[in-house]
Amino acid sequence: MIQAAIGLRVPAGLLTQVRADLERRHPFAAERIGFLKARQAALPEGGALLLAFDYLVVPDEGYIRDRRVGARIGDRGFRPARQAAFSEAASILHVHLHPHLGRPEPSSVDRRETAHFMPDFVNVAPAVAHAAVILSLDSLSGWAWRGSNVQLLSPITVVGAPLVKVL
């Protein structure tokens, strides 16, 4: 069965805000994590668009020490995103940065960790898709969770001047 496409559109100004936050040094974590809030819009043939409209910064105290991963956040870090999913029926996009050029791919840690926590968002707000997005220095990629399915976000469009479309 062919899966219906799920795309992502994010305003360029919002993405700049995300990058600025993720590039800040944390007191002990090696990297930062954030959450984009998005609304879902239906497309033909069951497809969907995730339309990012806001960004939730994870405060320094939302991180917990764990040397096995670049960054780990605890319940305090996840709670505002889960609350937005529950009370606003918002799609939640977990975002972090890989500091290299080119299209980012999830590491084995990314795959393991997202498989662990992304279903929580699906359980909280099952009517919409949720996603994990990885930024690189000049590109981005993402995977959407809709129900029990996981699929590539495609296309991803950075809406601004210039308009950048990643297939």
Determine the interface stretch with other proteins among 3-11, 26-34, 97-105, 135-143 (rule: CB under 8 A). Answer: 3-11
The dihedral sign for the CA sequence 87, 93, 143, 77: negative
Reduced to 3 states (helix: H, G, I; strand: E, B; else coil), residue 5 is: coil
- C-alpha 165/C-alpha 163 separation (Å) is 7
Q: What residues numbered 39-58 form the site for other proteins, per CB under 8 A?
A: 39-44, 49, 51, 53-54
Q: What residues numbered 13-32 form the site for other proteins, per CB under 8 A?
A: 13-14
Neighbours of 135 (CB within 10 A): 21
Torsion angle, alpha carbons of 35, 40, 44, 47, to 10:
40
Q: Which is nearer to other proteins, 43 or 115 (CB)?
A: 43
Select from 33, 38, 95, 129 the one that contacts other proteins (CB under 8 A).
38
Q: What residues numbered 145-164 form the site for other proteins, per CB under 8 A?
A: 155, 157, 159-163
Q: What residues numbered 117-146 form the site for other proteins, per CB under 8 A?
A: 127-128
User: What number of chain residues touch other proteins (CB under 8 A)?
Assistant: 28
Q: Answer for the pair 37, 55: CB distance below 8 angstroms, yes or no.
A: yes
Q: Which is nearer to other proteins, 74 or 155 (CB)?
A: 155
Q: Produce one character per residue of 85-94: b if its CB has 16 or more CB atoms within 10 Å, e if not.
A: beeeebbbbb
- 165 Cβ contact list (under 8 Å, min separation 6): 155, 156, 157, 158
**Mask 64-103, x = binds other proteins (CB under 8 A)?**
-------------------------x--------------
Q: Does 9 bind other proteins (CB under 8 A)?
A: yes
Footprint of other proteins on this chain (CB under 8 A)? 9-11, 13-14, 38-44, 49, 51, 53-54, 89, 127-128, 155, 157, 159-163, 165, 167
